Amino acid sequence: MRKYIGLVGTTTAKSTNRQLLKFMKRHFEKQATIELIEVSGLPMFNKPQDLKVPQRAVEIAKKINSSDGVIISTPEYDHAVPAVLMNALEWLSYGIHPLLDKPVMIIGASFGSLGTSRAQAHLRQMLDSPEIGARVMPSSEYLVGHVLEAFDKDGNLCDQEKIDQLDALFADFEQFVKISKELWHTEKADRKAIQKLDKQDFK
């Protein structure tokens, strides 16, 4: 059984994005293990004088490293991802690069009708940077708009069509994870390029 990380893109205590990941964890439990990880506990990113990456970032990186893939659920703040998620990604691309060549599926929930489509495009662009270098599943968007009405009292998605869409997307993601293992030709060059970038800071 594959092991995935569900990265919660917010630190808000009552979050619909966390709820969505929790739903996925339960809904797919016979197929895969999904461990939720919070982006809390990280200081605001600035290049540390002692070049030390915070222990919390190292812990998150370890979990991502030992997973088969990452599902990121992001809210949308001002047409972008929340600053806390961006902050976490900055720490995860400074000296440590756990997302390099890691299969990633992006999902999101928001109060608006567009359900994080702009935040997802923003996140996709970030994940594609050389410092992060994730393998983001192409041609896929899972948007839960008007999310305040999307869950029932047990935390399950109400709309069967939305569940069917998630089932299909998750099946594709599992396939994508499998295919990604065969895309290893650039791995060495990617690592080398990142080491070169790191050298500019970590001399």
Ligand X SMILES: Cc1cc2nc3c(=O)[nH]c(=O)nc-3n(C[C@H](O)[C@H](O)[C@H](O)COP(=O)(O)O)c2cc1C
Q: First-to-last CA distance in the chain?
A: 41
Residues forming contacts to ligand X in the complex (CB under 6 A) are 10, 12, 15-17, 75-79, 109-112, 114, 147
The answer for residues whose C-beta is within 8 angstroms of residue 78's C-beta and 6 or more apart is none
Question: Of 21 and 132, which has the nearer Cβ to ligand X?
Answer: 21
State in angstroms the smallest separation of the CB of 118 from ligand X. Answer: 7
Q: How far apart are CA 67 and CA 41, in angstroms?
A: 21
Q: How many CB atoms lie within 10 A of CB 111?
A: 14
Question: Of 67 and 110, which has the nearer Cβ to ligand X?
Answer: 110
| CB neighbour class for 57 (10 Å; exposed up to 12, middle 13-18, buried from 19) | buried
Question: Of 113 and 200, which has the nearer Cβ to ligand X?
Answer: 113
Question: Of 162 and 191, which has the nearer Cβ to ligand X?
Answer: 162
State in angstroms the smallest separation of the CB of 159 from ligand X. Answer: 17
Question: Of 16 and 87, which has the nearer Cβ to ligand X?
Answer: 16
State in angstroms the smallest separation of the CB of 51 from ligand X. Answer: 33
Report the Cα 184 to chain-centroid distance in Å. 21
State in angstroms the smallest separation of the CB of 38 from ligand X. Answer: 12
Question: Of 17 and 67, which has the nearer Cβ to ligand X?
Answer: 17
The answer for residues whose C-beta is within 8 angstroms of residue 66's C-beta and 6 or more apart is 3
State in angstroms the smallest separation of the CB of 113 from ligand X. Answer: 8
Task: Report the candidate in 115, 102, 121, 195 with the shortest Cα–Cα distance to residue 147.
Answer: 115
Q: Tokens 């270098």 belong to which residue? A: 133
State in angstroms the smallest separation of the CB of 145 from ligand X. Answer: 7
